[in-house]
Structure 1
Amino acid sequence: MMSTDDNAVSRDMREHAPALAPSSYSSGNTRGAQPVVASDAVKILEAAFAHHQAGRASEAAALYKQILQQDATHADALHFLGVLACDVGNLPAGIDLIEKSIQLHPNAIYLNNLGNMRDRAQDRQGAIAAYRAALSLAPAYAEAHSNLGHVLREVGDTKAAVDCCAQAVRLKPELAQAWVNLGNAQADLGCDDEALDSYIKALALNPNDANAHNNVGNVLERYGRAASAEEAYRRAVVLEPARASLRNNLGNVLRDQGLLDQATECYRQAITLEPAFAQAHSNLLLLLNTRPDVSPREQFDEAHAFGERQSARAQRFVHKAHRGNPGQRLRVGFMSGDLSSHPVGFFLESVLGHLDRSRIELVAYATRTREDAVAHRLMPHFSAWRDVSRLDDEACAQRVHDDAIDILVDLSGHTNHNRLPVFAWKPAAVQATWLGYFATTGLASIDYVIADRHVLPLDESSQFVEAPWHLPDSYLCFTPPPFAIDVGPLPAREQGALTFGCFNHLVKLNDTVVALWSRVLDAVPGSRLLLKTRQLDDPAVRRATRERFAARGIDGARLMLEEQSPRAELLAAYRRVDIALDPFPYAGGTTSVEALWMGVPILTRRGDRFLSHVGESILNTIGLPEWIAADDDDYLAKALHFSAQRNELATLRSALRERLLASPLCDAPRFARHLEDAFHGMWARRAACRHANAGLPV
């Protein structure tokens, strides 16, 4: 995406794996379905079971085998030996033993545990069949209802999952895990209030459940209560300090509160615990972009480390030689979790409608399920729409390869719902990254970064693993909103005082930005600053933001801090802004173009990397280079100059939307031709390189 206007990063919603067989054996949790234990083997079996529960696998296995040497048809010993094999990682052999035990003695407990192990082996349909078979024998088996709900949620049948888990808690209200599973399914349906209630019930039964604390944090974070979510995540970390995903989640809410040092440390701890944890590494890279103390070289090195780790885990596909005519129609795949009401969706919409289908065939790979009005407008432009949200990296890469995609385009980079590890498999012969990010992915398997001469000057190409592919005008094409909102008159003429504004993610407001903006407010008498973003939903974050400016002498009364709004209301809020201030080094993208569409000019600062050049690209493309400041002092001087030119501001405001619409930033047919040419140019270059370097047929 173009900015962090909507950059919530990946969160862990993990639930406990369903209960293991030994606990089922000991608890007697079915009616009329208890396994029969031969009297001569009871003591040996109990001793084996004790070793099993204590994690002494070899001792337990020896005793289970001792029983089986005496009686090869001893179902309990066979069953628990199978569970033990699964516990130590030999799932195929373990599942085979469990299935044999069921043939000898069909009962609900065995079938429930077969479901557990099939689920662990990623055999979801097999797990569902086993749980349903268990319930056919014991309809009141609460654990099986809960486990069935867990797997139904995994396969995307969320409503059925809610029904199963609700039945589990009706049958056994004291079953804490059933409340967690119910909460997870409710959260998937968007029923956060109900989910939070379920998690609280689970914690009342089991206060030491790290998953429940974690999931409480998930809900509170969605509510915009970052400080409260932080408390929940910290409780989870105390309970499971070695679990990387919990530290990743804690890093997310620390970041949203502007606690960048602490967030950075959390992400690094997560990566140390789990070096191949792609989500945490992406979150770290995204965060480092906001820090002015991180150089382009440091950013590159960290991204390169990510790329090396992911490449080491992947097995690259082998691609055949070029398929005949270089001018043929190309199959191009777009992979993103943001093919919806999101900056990526907004920038894609008008372009897709103008691509020449005789030159480009599009296939979508949606990495999350989110169907809204924008998604439904995008779908008809694709020949196929693949939901890959539940596929692992290998299966997702295989899907792309089986679809015979010529060029696979990443639209996420290191932002939310990215699937960059899939690109490490090289499922398409040519791969590119575009639109969703603003720095190198670090993956050598991605051939190109689609850019323009402003965001990626040739002398900065060393900051990228990918080769730059420059579009002639801008690398962006804005889709105007599908509703009418008047620009309105210059607010300063009605209010008397000038209002600066910024609607970017609060993480962009680092201490250097706050310091410079405080200088601007101090230098323009009576001026105010309107900040509007999701993070300001949290009262604690609003207080902290006022304190940051107060520490630099700015009275809190001069700050207008507002929560997030639906898009139409967000755009209407620009009618109260005279000049938009662009943060740095992480400049705005979507927010900047939306401000211009609402007649509000943006003041940006020249940078030293793609991320910092986005504002420059936008302003140069619409012909307003005078609004680009060279440094902090020039930024302050331009803010003073423009704020004093009320008549000129009013004139610019009245003409700015038409100026934007007439520029290449909104010329979708022109942009579509450039994008088609880029894809065909990439494909032709591949063919030429193969022919020159390997003598392969073109």
Structure 2
Amino acid sequence: MSRTQTTAAAVAPDAAATAALRQSAALLAAGRAEDAASVAVGVLQRDNRIVDAWRALVAPLRQLGRGQDLVTALENVCALAPTDGDAWAALAGEWRQRGLAEKAEAAAQRAIAAGAAAEGWRQTGLLAIGSGRITDAAAAFERAWQAAPGDAGMVVNLLNSLVELRGFGRALEILDALPPAVLEDADVAYVAGVVYRHRGRLEESVRCYLRAMASRVEAADAAAAVRDGLGADGRLTPACRAAVAGLPDAQVHAPAFGELGSVLAVFRAFDDAMTLMERAAALPATRQERRSDSLLFCANYHPDLTADEIREIYRRYEDRTRVPALPAIDPADRRRADGRPLRVGYVSPDFRGHSCAQFIEPVVAAHDPAAVEVVAYAELSQPDEVTERIRPHFAAWRPTVGVSDEAFCRQVRDDGIDILVDLAGHTTRNRLQAMRRRPAPVQATWIGYCFTTGLEAIDYYIGDAVSAPAGSDHLFAEKVVRLPFVLGCYTPPPGTPEPVPTPALAAGHVTFGCLSRAIRVNDRVLGAWAQILHRVPDSRLVLNSRHFGDPFLARLTVAKFGSLGIAPERLDIGFTRGAWDLYNRIDILLDCFPHNSGTTTFEAFWMGVPVVTVTDRPPAGRLGAAVANTVGHPELIAYSEREYVEVAARLAGDVAALDALRQSLRPAIAASPIMDARRFVRTLEAAYGTMFDRWQNGLPPASFSVAEPR
């Protein structure tokens, strides 16, 4: 067909053309797209001003994958019928997919003006997503939804953009306004589950994921079993397990499987969680690496897997999702004979009000510009005041939301990065998939995950000698860099309260607590805590973090403690925003295992609250020990669950000594390398220098320990 756009006025089809176009439609309905297109072309050969013939070409050309011909057909529809909003919207979509953003934007606006507001605004939103303008996308999707409130696709686009922006309050308002029929849509149910999960409404989240999963199941009895698959114990019902196990791949809603697994792990149903995640991760589909991220993240917290078993899960992930690397960089192109600083790129979604920022900010602020020039690769959809505080410390700031892996790698190479450092691991919005292409000559992972990435493309894991002890190298895909003190440098946010005397002095009983994420609080942990409560009469336990605000999880936890002989009145389970005042209600913080707590351990020491920890699987199971050692209190470290109970009971048995310890902890952490950013960063920079020098000299990555510079 001719790809020339007509400039003539449209004409109506005569009787012969009308009959031919009916024949074309019938052929298309019968699955004969090629014949349908040929008949419509025949009409146009007689008179290319018949707009209905151009319209008749659109569907068969789309089915046949003849993209350029499809664009020509749509251009001619728009030229002959400029008030055809649907054609303008479709043309906007085609131009958007071809990267012609300006033309697509103009076509979308023509669609809106011509009355196709919903689809025009949807295309506008998709264009904004493609350029990383998530706020603009959400505004456009909101207008699209308002124009078509019953269209499930419009709802999904809007909710997804709000999730990216963490606009969960508005997302809940939209969900509350939706008619029941729209809520039954599989994709709406899935995104609703994501929203509820982020808001800590876990039971509602699970039921949404199950509804999305059931919508793909063809057998009515199996679909019903999946839909009603949450048991009162927080595990999948036997009927649901059986139905899921028998599903063919085509009926697996992979994203819902993965997300449901994440919540079931919080309910301490780790085996169900891993089964769902492994099934989702094994499916060959786009975004598989994201589903694998969830599987790996969950495996880190599983209370019964050995360190070697977890390493094998990571190894299978690497084998399943390999990508080709870019051509290697020639060391001759990166010589530092002129004494130029190393160019270090930090890759993170957490340059914002996030706990990781409390570890990132002091480091980037303390880097010596003569030694290290830092570049940020910021996977941020919603910058905030913390972003604005961190940003000036970087020599360059590269927004990466909406940036393809290929473009990300080009930017890293154009920036001349010597060492690219991942700060997210397999957490949400990481860019590990791009780093697997090896855009930088040396690549490392540090602080945001505290576990191996499992990727051969990451050369180094930056840890310490306690959390990644000698003899543990086989648990890492990377070579291990061991700092001489704990792997993180911490700065508390401004405005934290002063420590108070230990609360037991006034309360007359000891209060234990844990403010860590609920996924760390498994049945083994609850069993040890019950023993501690039995050993310390009249003591109380505070569990406070976002997911403990979910009534279903709170009931599960109270019931578990009840089965262990602990009465509900000894428990304070819930979620309170702003944890700092909670520390002043707790006498002793109890660490979790086999995955130790993270930020809350640093916070507790800063607030004068001793943390009783127990060593377990490296490295995340030894982070508490690394912090306690660095602060100078190794007596808080247990090396078995039995000793963990003993240490906690002994500490609680002398309230006067407990109060004296409390008053000493803030000065101790303040004087340690944890809060001496300059001291920490000089050591980190020495590690970077060794990594780069090895590469520059043609040597492969190797594990090494870092001596503190003098």
| Structure-to-structure mapping, 1:543-554, within 5 angstroms | 543-554=555-566
Residue 561 of structure 1 aligns with which residue?
A: 573
SS in 2 for 1:431: strand
Shift of 1:178: 4.0
* 1:251/1:436 CA distance change after superposition, 3 Å: same
| Structure-to-structure mapping, 1:164-313, within 5 angstroms | 164-165=140-141, 167-168=143-144, 174-184=150-160, 191-199=167-175, 201-204=177-180, 206=182, 208-240=184-216, 241-274=251-284, 277-312=288-323
Shift of 1:459: 0.7
Letter paired with 2:468: L
Residue 430 of structure 1 aligns with which residue?
A: 442
CA contact (8 A) 1:61 1:84 kept: yes
Shift of 1:469: 1.3
Q: 1:13-61 CA distances to partner (integer Å, 9 max, x unpaired)?
A: xxxxxxxxxxxxxxxxxxxx9996564344554454466567x3xx112
SS in 1 for 2:408: helix
Same amino acid, percent of matched pairs: 32
CA contact (8 A) 1:606 1:631 kept: yes
| Structure-to-structure mapping, 1:74-113, within 5 angstroms | 76-78=52-54, 81=57, 83-87=59-63, 91-92=67-68, 94-99=70-75, 102-103=78-79, 106=82, 107-113=84-90
Residue 654 of structure 1 aligns with which residue?
A: 663
| Stretch deviating more after TM superposition (81-90 or 214-223) | 81-90
Shift of 1:258: 2.9
CA distance in 2, matches of 1:447, 1:78: 56
CA contact (8 A) 1:599 1:654 kept: yes
* 1:559/1:399 CA distance change after superposition, 3 Å: same
**1:681 aligned onto 2:690:** yes
Letter paired with 2:373: E
Residue 359 of structure 1 aligns with which residue?
A: 371
CA contact (8 A) 1:414 1:437 kept: yes
Residue 62 of structure 1 aligns with which residue?
A: 35
CA contact (8 A) 1:267 1:284 kept: yes
CA contact (8 A) 2:33 2:63 kept: no
Which blocks of at least 5 consecutive residues in structure 1 are unaligned? 1-32, 693-698
| Stretch deviating more after TM superposition (203-212 or 159-168) | 159-168
CA contact (8 A) 1:449 1:466 kept: yes
* 1:118/1:315 CA distance change after superposition, 3 Å: farther
CA contact (8 A) 2:85 2:110 kept: yes
* 1:683/1:315 CA distance change after superposition, 3 Å: closer
Shift of 1:333: 0.6
* 1:205/1:361 CA distance change after superposition, 3 Å: same
Which blocks of at least 5 consecutive residues in structure 2 are unaligned? 1-8, 217-250, 702-710
Residue 577 of structure 1 aligns with which residue?
A: 586
Residue 116 of structure 1 aligns with which residue?
A: 93
SS in 2 for 1:443: coil
CA contact (8 A) 2:326 2:437 kept: yes
Residue 374 of structure 1 aligns with which residue?
A: 386
Residue 20 of structure 1 aligns with which residue?
A: none
CA distance in 2, matches of 1:296, 1:112: 53
Q: Please report the TM-score for the alignment, with normalisation by the length of structure 2.
A: 0.85
Q: 1:144-169 CA distances to partner (integer Å, 9 max, x unpaired)?
A: 34443454455455565565555556
Q: 1:224-267 CA distances to partner (integer Å, 9 max, x unpaired)?
A: 11101111121122224433222222223323333322222221
Q: 1:492-546 CA distances to partner (integer Å, 9 max, x unpaired)?
A: 1211111111111111111111111111111111111111101012112111111
| Stretch deviating more after TM superposition (668-677 or 391-400) | 391-400
**1:439 aligned onto 2:412:** no
CA contact (8 A) 2:33 2:64 kept: no
Q: 1:587-611 CA distances to partner (integer Å, 9 max, x unpaired)?
A: 0121111111111111111223111
CA distance in 2, matches of 1:152, 1:533: 35
CA contact (8 A) 1:203 1:213 kept: no
* 1:666/1:173 CA distance change after superposition, 3 Å: closer
Q: 1:618-638 CA distances to partner (integer Å, 9 max, x unpaired)?
A: 111122112111211111221
**1:534 aligned onto 2:511:** no
Residue 614 of structure 1 aligns with which residue?
A: 623
Letter paired with 1:262: D
**1:328 aligned onto 2:340:** yes
* 1:405/1:94 CA distance change after superposition, 3 Å: farther
Q: 1:171-221 CA distances to partner (integer Å, 9 max, x unpaired)?
A: 555555445545555566655444334345554454542222222223222
Residue 134 of structure 1 aligns with which residue?
A: 111
SS in 1 for 2:322: helix
CA contact (8 A) 1:183 1:196 kept: no
Residue 243 of structure 2 aligns with which residue?
A: none
| Structure-to-structure mapping, 1:400-419, within 5 angstroms | 400-419=412-431
* 1:516/1:47 CA distance change after superposition, 3 Å: farther
Shift of 1:99: 3.6
Shift of 1:87: 4.4
SS in 2 for 1:237: helix
* 1:352/1:173 CA distance change after superposition, 3 Å: closer
* 1:185/1:439 CA distance change after superposition, 3 Å: closer
CA distance in 2, matches of 1:174, 1:37: 35
Letter paired with 1:258: R
| Stretch deviating more after TM superposition (439-448 or 392-401) | 392-401
CA distance in 1, matches of 2:465, 2:686: 17
Q: Please report the TM-score for the alignment, with normalisation by the length of structure 1.
A: 0.87
CA distance in 2, matches of 1:691, 1:464: 16
Letter paired with 1:630: Y
| Stretch deviating more after TM superposition (445-454 or 99-108) | 99-108
SS in 1 for 2:491: coil
How many aligned positions are there?
Answer: 652
CA distance in 1, matches of 2:477, 2:486: 21
| Stretch deviating more after TM superposition (668-677 or 397-406) | 397-406
